[in-house]
Amino acid sequence: MQAVDLTERRLVVAANRGPVSFHDDPSGEPVVTRGPGGLVTVLTEVLRHHPGAWVAAALSDAERRLAAEERAVEVALDGEVYRVRYVAPSRAAYHKYYNVVSNPMLWFIQHYLWDLGRHPDIRAEEMDAWHNGYVPVNGLFAKAVIDEVRGGRDGRRRRDQACDGSDALVLLHDYQLYLVAPEVRAACPGTFLHQFVHIPWPQSDYWRVLPEHIRESVFRGLLGNDVVAFHTRHYVRNFLRCCEYLLELEVDQASCTVRCDGREVWVRAYPVSIDPASLRAAADSRRARTAERALRSRRREFLLLRVDRMDLSKNIIRGFAALDRFLELHPEFKERLTFLALLQPSRQDVEEYVTYRERVERIVADVNTRHGTVDWMPIDLRIQDDFPVTLAAYAQYDVLFVNAISDGMNLVAKEGPVLNRHDGVLVLSEYAGAYEELGAFAIGVNPFNIEGQAEALFRALTMSPEERADRAGMLSRVVEENSVEKWVQAQFADIAAKLAAGC
């Protein structure tokens, strides 16, 4: 087998969010900040490994103006230079694509969040959102990717020239872009297409929620890639079974491959991770150190911490119910602990998220009223997006609480142990992707079992210092030894192997 040099390939990355966000300040001047979310951080790592263009949706007026240029623009931020190409769907189409189909429809299916006796109702609005939102927005992404695949290496355009893409590598990311690959393949059949799904892949029966033609499009769309990637082996198995049961395709469970339209698609697991060195550097910033001093001066004997986007999949309400139960069972811990909940606001244009936030605020008020005293409240709820405070809290926690109903990976479970200085205990949902790597050194919990989560809190808070130190040491070691760099390298190695194998 001949080795393949991927550095020769032009790289095009596509994800709903870009590496940076442009906003107009009050004087109308564009301001650039880092794009939000863990996916942006890890894709930045990919581009550090192999420079290329990043196709993303224009979310602000400033980005819409850049989209009008119909080319990748260079943006510098924090010493890095990105080439970003924005696509600008109409606001109505973007709403249908993002707020109706991607979230909640696909997100809820993939995280098992639909309460099937009651939801979802697939009516004209949802069908319209698919046909006039998800499909055309994916089409716009595909068009931009094709254009970048055809763009000259030296920046000159060769759009009108025939180009089969055999010098290009396209990395598609996530559930917003399931329909992009087949269009790119049809236009540039030589392109190597790779799609990473950052969220869980549920069992086949749950996909039956979607009307058959939509489900087929999702699967056929993903199978338009050469490699389909997930965070865990469990999601790989689910995907392979779906291909067998729902599409009746030829699947080889041993080699994790699917035969589709005469091609062999590789289905692989690469557990995403973090970059411990840059996380430590961020924690050493002035703002993070100031935040840590503030936290330390106010902390009680024990600090319990959760850090999440305000998302139903994170199981925030059952977490507070578990604390409530724990304090009922163990009143001796009253006034000795604080449960700090750092929750970033999310998707507030989607009704389910608005209602969820209200329910979270209500249970916090209830638990605080039930157990609080004149100068102590058990829960310190902060709905904010303040990374320095998060870094400070990572250093200080005694218990890091991650009880997700379902979670692609959960990077909080990896960030916390790297920065923590208290031999903190990780309470980790068995249904978070991170459980495959970290479960042995965490206290595992079933996310639905509130009683079990209350017991886990007790076990964590009464664990011997020796056991805490052993477990904390192992957690940070596993993360240090499996950094995001390995994640990138493993994917590039498989891409090179598949190209070399010529299958």
Contact residues for ligand F6P, defined by CB under 6 A: 16-17, 37-39, 103, 174, 198-199, 346-347, 408
Return the structure tokens found at 98. Answer: 């993002």
CA dihedral 209, 212, 213, 216 (to 10 degrees): 90
Alpha carbon separation from 73 to 49, 67, 83, 176, 374 (Å, rounded) = 20, 9, 5, 23, 56
What distance separates the 2 farthest-apart alpha carbons in the chain? 75
**How near is the Cβ of 344 to ligand F6P at its closest, in Å?**
9
Find out whether 56 and 14 touch, Cβ atoms under 8 Å.
yes
3 state DSSP class of 176: helix
Find out whether 86 and 58 touch, Cβ atoms under 8 Å.
yes
Residue 408 vs 416, nearer CB to ligand F6P: 408
In sequence order, the 6+-apart residues with CB closer than 8 A to the CB of 106 are 175, 178, 218
**How near is the Cβ of 255 to ligand F6P at its closest, in Å?**
27
**How near is the Cβ of 408 to ligand F6P at its closest, in Å?**
6
Residue 273 vs 338, nearer CB to ligand F6P: 273
3 state DSSP class of 77: strand
Return the structure tokens found at 203. Answer: 């069992």
Residue 204 vs 406, nearer CB to ligand F6P: 406
**How near is the Cβ of 370 to ligand F6P at its closest, in Å?**
32
Instruction: Please report the DSSP string for 422-478 in residue order.
Output: S-PEEEEETTBTTHHHHGGGSEEE-TT-HHHHHHHHHHHHT--HHHHHHHHHHHHHH
Residue 350 vs 419, nearer CB to ligand F6P: 350
**How near is the Cβ of 269 to ligand F6P at its closest, in Å?**
15
**How near is the Cβ of 245 to ligand F6P at its closest, in Å?**
25
Find out whether 176 and 87 touch, Cβ atoms under 8 Å.
no
**How near is the Cβ of 162 to ligand F6P at its closest, in Å?**
35
Residue 232 vs 346, nearer CB to ligand F6P: 346
Residue 411 vs 463, nearer CB to ligand F6P: 411
Residue 151 vs 408, nearer CB to ligand F6P: 408
In sequence order, the 6+-apart residues with CB closer than 8 A to the CB of 327 are 333, 334, 367, 370, 371, 378
